[in-house]
């Protein structure tokens, strides 16, 4: 694997709320190399978006980092001053949010919203040569819309978000996120609310541009099947813990964590029937509890033992496949 562009080590974060302290992330480790597309998967509430917001420096005011680091190009994102993070956001790290209609300014034409990002970072010609390098702000915004396959981009640049479909608004969000040609793209549930055909078009667009620009990409989703189609490697999260990480092909050939296997059995795929789907048993634990087991899946796991009260360190099953479990599945069990 290439050296990591982003390396998150032993990262923990909690929320101080009126009803108690929520230990949202604990001991998270994550690496993304240049040009790599990594899928971050898990049920809603697993901490995927919380992690991404922390990396961008846009966490809720109640959030408090309690340990670890997140190195990006030698800078620790968790210790950086707000001014430094503001300079990185949009220029070196782009983000696509779940709801484009909420993220876009409803009373500003989309072309001007792209121009805002370009002007903020004074980016006119990064990574471009020839005639494109001489384009002005307006032309650059139109070009950004053209690159995400929006038809008639000159006219669409003057449109407002409410005049566009959900899929087109998502393309505008992608154009904004990629306008400055960032090194890292974080796509947080970018297909939420889109029909299946539009989902595929949006994912083809994101991953195609990522490959073309050799851009590191973190794709956050609860849809394991979608991650399987587009990601080089998949990291599985459960209740604020990373429980398994492996190249996509290896993970699907032989999932080793019981939670990963359960996720797969609950995910529809070609040829599957509704009757054949098996939901993950139980619910995510209440992260405000003071008696959380060291393995937060233990209370939902059929293989749990007293040893699961001790936190397992991730260890390689077969490099670069790692699983945090005292009872990793053997291949036969994983497929059974």
pLDDT at 335: 46
pLDDT at 272: 57
Classify residue 241 as exposed, middle or buried by CB count within 10 Å of its CB (0-12, 13-18, 19+): buried
Whether 283 is in a domain gets the answer yes
Whether 308 is in a domain gets the answer yes
* Range of the structural domain that residue 313 is part of: 4-92+182-335
Whether 154 is in a domain gets the answer no
pLDDT at 24: 96
pLDDT at 218: 97
pLDDT at 181: 93
pLDDT at 135: 66
Whether 291 is in a domain gets the answer yes
Tell me the per-residue pLDDT of 95-127, one tens digit each, with 9 for 90 and over: 999 888 889 999 999 999 999 999 988 754 455
pLDDT at 205: 95
Phi, psi of 156 (to 5 degrees): -65, -25
Q: pLDDT below 70 — which residues of the chain? A: 1, 123-135, 269-277, 331-336
Instruction: From residue 118, give the alpha-carbon distance in Å to each of 55, 93, 125.
Output: 21, 13, 10
Phi, psi of 277 (to 5 degrees): -80, 135
pLDDT at 29: 94
pLDDT at 273: 56
For residues 258 and 327, is the Cβ–Cβ distance under 8 A? yes
Name the nearest CA neighbour of 87 among 52, 126, 120. 120
Whether 273 is in a domain gets the answer yes
pLDDT at 217: 97
CATH number of domain containing 73: 3.40.50.300
pLDDT at 281: 81
Number of domains in the chain: 1
Mode of pairing for the β-strands spanning 93-96 and 75-76: unpaired
Name the nearest CA neighbour of 330 among 278, 257, 265, 260. 257
pLDDT at 297: 94
Whether 186 is in a domain gets the answer yes
- State the Cα–Cα distance between residues 125 and 181, nearest whole angstrom: 10
CA 53-59-294 angle, to 5 degrees, is 80
HEC readout, 147-208: HCCCCCHHHHCCCCHHHCCHHHHHHHHHHHHHCCCCCEEEEECCCCCCCHHHHHHHHHHHHH
Q: What's the Rg (C-alpha) of the chain?
A: 21
pTM across the whole model: 0.90
Whether 129 is in a domain gets the answer no
Tell me the per-residue pLDDT of 245-269, one tens digit each, with 9 for 90 and over: 999 999 999 999 999 999 988 777 6
- State the Cα–Cα distance between residues 278 and 268, nearest whole angstrom: 10
Q: Where are the beta strands (DSSP E) in the chain?
A: 4-17, 20-33, 37-41, 63-72, 75-76, 93-96, 184-188, 216-221, 233-238, 241-247, 315-318, 321-323
Whether 137 is in a domain gets the answer no
Please enumerate, as own/partner, the contacts of 73-81 that have beta carbons within 8 Å and a separation of 24 or more.
73/5, 73/183, 78/11, 78/54
Element (H, E) at 56: helix 48-56
pLDDT at 282: 86
Length of the chain: 336
- State the Cα–Cα distance between residues 176 and 235, nearest whole angstrom: 26
């Amino acid at each position: 694997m290439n050296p990591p562009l982003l390396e998150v080590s032993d990262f923990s974060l909690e929320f101080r709320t009126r009803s108690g302290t929520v230990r949202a992330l604990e001991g998270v480790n994550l690496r993304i190399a240049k040009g790599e597309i990594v899928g971050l998967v898990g049920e809603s509430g697993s901490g995927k978006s919380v992690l991404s917001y922390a990396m961008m420096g846009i966490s809720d005011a109640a959030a408090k980092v309690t340990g670890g680091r997140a190195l990006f190009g030698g800078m620790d994102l968790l210790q950086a001053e707000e001014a430094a993070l503001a300079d990185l956001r949009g220029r070196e790290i782009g983000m696509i949010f779940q709801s484009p209609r909420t993220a876009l300014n409803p009373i500003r034409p989309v072309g001007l919203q792209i121009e805002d990002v370009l002007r903020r970072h004074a980016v006119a010609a990064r990574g471009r040569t020839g005639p494109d390098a001489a384009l002005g702000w307006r032309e650059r915004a139109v070009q950004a819309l053209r690159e995400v396959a929006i038809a008639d981009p000159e006219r669409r640049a003057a449109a407002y978000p409410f005049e566009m479909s959900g899929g087109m608004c998502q393309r505008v969000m992608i154009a904004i996120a990629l306008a400055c040609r960032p090194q890292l793209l974080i796509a947080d549930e970018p297909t939420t609310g889109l029909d299946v055909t539009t989902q595929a078009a949006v994912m083809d667009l994101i991953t195609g541009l990522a490959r073309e620009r050799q851009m590191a990409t973190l794709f956050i989703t609860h849809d394991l099947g979608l991650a399987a189609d587009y990601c080089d490697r998949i990291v599985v999260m459960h209740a604020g813990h990373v429980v398994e990480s492996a190249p996509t092909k290896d993970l699907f050939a032989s999932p080793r964590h019981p939670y990963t296997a359960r996720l797969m059995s609950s995910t529809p795929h070609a040829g599957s029937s509704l009757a054949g789907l098996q939901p993950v048993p139980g619910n995510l634990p209440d992260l405000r509890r003071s008696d959380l087991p060291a393995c937060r899946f233990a209370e939902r796991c059929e293989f749990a033992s007293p040893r699961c009260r001790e936190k397992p360190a991730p260890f390689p099953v077969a490099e670069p496949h790692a699983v945090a479990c005292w009872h990793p599945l053997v291949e036969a069990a994983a497929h059974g």
